[in-house]
Amino acid sequence: MPNKNQHSDLDESINVTEAHGRIVREAAACAREKRIVQNGIEPVSLWALGACAIVFVIAGGILGGGGNLFAYGTNFREGYVRTPAPGAADSGPVPKEALVAYMAKGAKIYSAKCNGCHGSDAKGNGATFPSLVGSKWVLGETERFAMIVLNGLQGPVSNGTTYGVMPPQGIGMSPEDLAGVMTYVRNNFGNSKGDVVTMEMAKAAIDVSGVRKKVGTSVTGPELESDHLKNLSGTPLDPKTLVDPITLEASKLP
Amino acid sequence: MSSANSTTSEQDAILRSGIDRSLRHPVMFFLTSGAAWLAVSIVLGIVASWKVHSPELLSGCAWLTYGRVFPAHINALIYGWGFQAAFAIIIWMMARLSRKECKAVGTILAAGHIWNLGVALGIVGIFAGFSTGIPWMEFPIFAWPVLLVSYISIIIWSFIQFRVRPEGHVYISQWYFLAAMIWFPWIYITANTLLLCIPGHPLMGVAINTWYKSAILFLFFTPVALGAAYYLAPKVTGSSVYSYSLAKLGFWSLAIIAPWAGMQKLVGVPIPYFLPYVGAAATVLLFVPAITASINILKTATSSRDVLKGSPSLQFMTAGIVGLVIMACAAVFLNLPNSTLPLSQFSMSGYGFQILALYGFFSLVMFGSIYFIVPRVTRREWLSRRLIKMHFFFSIYGIMTVALIAIFGGIQQGAAQEAFEQPWQNAATSAFPYAVATTIAWCFILFSNVFFFLQLTLMWLRLGRRSSHPTLLTSSHDSSSSPHGDDGDIDNAGPAFQATH
């Protein structure tokens, strides 16, 4: 097949049918295409309109069911956030680990009763108000510590120093309060005993305090050495046990 | 056919062939690179969905954790595949409909490369841990202006072609394409400005993001796919669009309703609470534009059963429109605030719905368009009808599985999540079989696309069949026994040959 460009005079010599065929060959896919005819005039069918009408009713129901859509005073629709499960409402606050819960309680007692003299850092002033940080009376035997808190302290102590008179703090102090403040002081301000003085122990301390030889007076150094150099009785509590943060009772939730 | 008519139609064919010729490089570039991103996205989708039911898979590798693989998967699907397929279809169909050759091939190609570079760097950024954490906008911030600039450089030429077109009627497809071309920069710039440039209250940020996701689906991918379907259905069958009134109703209802949709996923979130309820109502109302367009296109496409049976373009397109119908019904079913919305709000149905829209509707229509366009721009015919059939059926199985999971699995999972007195493990357990099914569905989709990738690559290498006969899914009654038509029949081509494609 000769190349058409080799012919000097296209008008004369080109085979029209061949050229036509060649062009159409190259545009074969385009040549067999159909033209787009638009504008069908079929009417919109009734069932399509019916389906759309149903959807409009549903959409209207959604907007209507939304209640007052422009109530900017509230953040979300009343009743959308679900109420607690039946029985869950009276299970009380979220339980916390014992050490955390006791210390949170103790922090309040400390700031109410101890802060004035021993200071917010528990370092006292070194003269009349002794430091509680690293003190062996704080970190040592719990009964001795409890007696001082409940009854106050006067007179010289075993190393010969005489601090100022500590007033008794036990009046109106519940076992939870005592347990909380003792746990707090033993695990805060740089102290890290890591154990919990339980409510049971605190109750025992209050009982012991009530049957002392000289009930109603502040304890003295010699009395502590002779009568109270021991730990309070009671079952130790794993500091990770979950307890109710308000009552400090062991949590009933799983 | 009179000779005058024949000459006009030949000249017309030559004009159209010239338009195809001028666009072959950009169209093939967008289609092949889009297909490559589709492959990447499907593989990442398999990995991500595998991790949902077997979290220990590949867990030793930081860049392969779910939090990176999943956003990489969805972003590759949207910006790698979806947008590039849309670019190819928009520039080709707008050129054809405006009857203008493309004069800016170089610019479009350069912008296309920059788009790909932006997507690639964005995906790498996600893998490297620099994701923004905003769904569907996870690319690191540097990628977003790059994508916007290249989008404009690609799309602007179709506007210019439309402006300088020969006067005449504006066809339905052109409405949809023009709308999509304008709507995308609007939603894109809005979302990027309000989320990345001048971020406001984080809660409103979440709301804007849910709107952006819905708007990308319904204001870009939906009109592009509908425009392509409105082009293909009458073009391939040769019959007129069923009803012009339905077309107008479908277009304008989409334009009015779709911008309101999206925020229904935030029912219960402390934002002004007309927003989620209006969003739910609008999403439900999207049934109207979807169903009107679907009726119109399906009535047109099924006007000739023989053509529908034979044409791969028409079959894919029809399947995609059926996907749109299912999606429209799912939009109604999943968004009822007092019953199903709380169940679908935080369950897998959201993802399933997006995949139904992106793959079951948009991508299938894109495949239909690709089977129509590629033979024209490469001047080669598809190699094998068997490969096309494999692509078709496994795509359908895969996407049907995803749709079933979206609707039933999501509701099951949501109901298990709602039973909040039960341990969360119950919800995970009830979702487990559906998560496994999603993985299987993605494997089907990957399997189906292997055939598509293979054949598209061969077409791109110009190794397609040299013939004037289209590759049809059924052998025509009068052809010889060869499934590919007669060998060497190239010289038999002519305007008188009335096979359809």
Q: What is the per-residue pLDDT for A13? A: 47
**DSSP codes, B166-207:** PS-PPPHHHHHHHHHHHHHHHHHHHHHIIIIIS---HHHHHH
Phi and psi based region of residue B333 (left: phi greater than 0; alpha: psi -120 to 50; beta: remaining): alpha
Task: Show the tokens assigned to B349.
Answer: 């149905």
Q: What is the per-residue pLDDT for B214? A: 95
Q: What is the per-residue pLDDT for B152? A: 96
Query: How many residues does this entry show for chain B?
Result: 501
Contacts of A55 in chain B (CB under 8 A): 284-285, 287-288, 332
Inter-chain CB proximity B169 and A69 less than 8 Å: no
Q: What is the per-residue pLDDT for B292? A: 95
Rounded to whole angstroms, the Cα distance separating A209 from A150 reads 7
Collapsed DSSP state (helix, strand, coil) of residue B465: strand
List the single range of A39-43, A155-159, B74-78, B245-249 with lowest mean pLDDT.
A155-159
**Secondary structure tally for chain A: helices H, strands E:** 11, 4
pLDDT band at B180 (very low <50, low <70, confident <90, very high): very high
Q: What is the per-residue pLDDT for A1? A: 44
Nearest CA in chain B to A17: B494
Q: What is the per-residue pLDDT for B218? A: 96
Nearest to B13 among A27, A55, A76 (CB): A27
List the single range of B193-202, B328-337, B475-484 with lowest mean pLDDT.
B475-484
pLDDT band at B148 (very low <50, low <70, confident <90, very high): very high
- For A159-166, what is the mean pLDDT? 76
Name, in order, each residue with C-beta under 8 angstroms of B80's C-beta and a sequence gap of 6 or more: B33, B34, B36, B37, B38, B40, B41, B116, B119, B123
Nearest CA in chain B to A80: B268
% chain A with pLDDT above 70:
79
For B398-418, what is each residue's pLDDT tens digit? Answer: 998 888 887 888 888 888 888
Residues 229-248 of B with CB under 8 A from A: 231, 234-246
User: Would the pLDDT of A177 be above 70?
Assistant: yes
Tell me which of B346 and B389 has the higher pLDDT: B389
pLDDT band at A183 (very low <50, low <70, confident <90, very high): confident
List the single range of B159-173, B271-285, B466-480 with lowest mean pLDDT.
B466-480
Inter-chain CB proximity B491 and A71 less than 8 Å: no
Residues 77-116 of A with CB under 8 A from B: 77, 80-82, 85, 88
Cβ neighbour number for residue A22 with a 10 Å cutoff: 14
- For B99-120, what is the mean pLDDT? 94
User: Would the pLDDT of B351 be above 60?
Assistant: yes
Nearest CA in chain A to B418: A82
- For B361-370, what is the mean pLDDT? 96
Rounded to whole angstroms, the Cα distance separating B229 from B321 reads 8
* pLDDT, chain A, mean: 76
* pLDDT, chain B, mean: 88
Q: What is the per-residue pLDDT for B496? A: 39
pLDDT band at B205 (very low <50, low <70, confident <90, very high): very high
Tokens 């819905």 sit at which residue? B214
- Cα B154-B458-B112 angle, rounded to 5 deg: 15
User: Would the pLDDT of B495 be above 70?
Assistant: no
Residue B427 CA neighbour count, 13 Å, CB half: 18
Residues 45-64 of A with CB under 8 A from B: 45, 48, 51-52, 55-56, 58-60, 62-63
For A217-248, what is each residue's pLDDT tens digit? Answer: 788 877 877 778 788 888 787 877 777 777 77
The domain defined by A96-243 carries CATH number 2.30.30.110: no
Residue B356 exposed, middle or buried by CB count within 10 Å (0-12, 13-18, 19+) = buried
Name, in order, each residue with C-beta under 8 angstroms of B6's C-beta and a sequence gap of 6 or more: B495
Tell me which of A157 and B246 has the higher pLDDT: B246
Residues 104-133 of B with CB under 8 A from A: none
**Predicted model pTM:** 0.74
Q: Which of A194-203, B159-168, B172-181 has the highest mean pLDDT?
A: B172-181
Nearest to B172 among A38, A80, A81 (CB): A38
Q: Domain limits of chain B?
A: 15-168
pLDDT band at B475 (very low <50, low <70, confident <90, very high): low
pLDDT band at B490 (very low <50, low <70, confident <90, very high): very low
Contacts of B207 in chain A (CB under 8 A): none
For B43-72, what is each residue's pLDDT tens digit? Answer: 999 999 999 888 888 878 888 899 999 999
Contacts of B242 in chain A (CB under 8 A): 40, 42
pLDDT band at A91 (very low <50, low <70, confident <90, very high): low
- For A186-211, what is the mean pLDDT? 82
For A1-57, what is each residue's pLDDT tens digit? Answer: 445 444 444 444 455 666 566 666 677 777 778 877 767 778 888 888 999 999 999
Nearest to B241 among A34, A39, A59 (CB): A39
For B191-201, what is each residue's pLDDT tens digit? Answer: 999 999 998 88
Inter-chain CB proximity A48 and B292 less than 8 Å: yes
pLDDT band at B483 (very low <50, low <70, confident <90, very high): very low
User: Would the pLDDT of B182 be above 80?
Assistant: yes
pLDDT band at A212 (very low <50, low <70, confident <90, very high): confident
Q: Domain limits of chain A?
A: 46-90, 96-243
pLDDT band at A78 (very low <50, low <70, confident <90, very high): low
List the single range of A66-80, B82-96, B113-127 with lowest mean pLDDT.
A66-80
Nearest CA in chain B to A42: B243
Tell me which of A90 and B76 has the higher pLDDT: B76
Q: What is the per-residue pLDDT for A166? A: 82
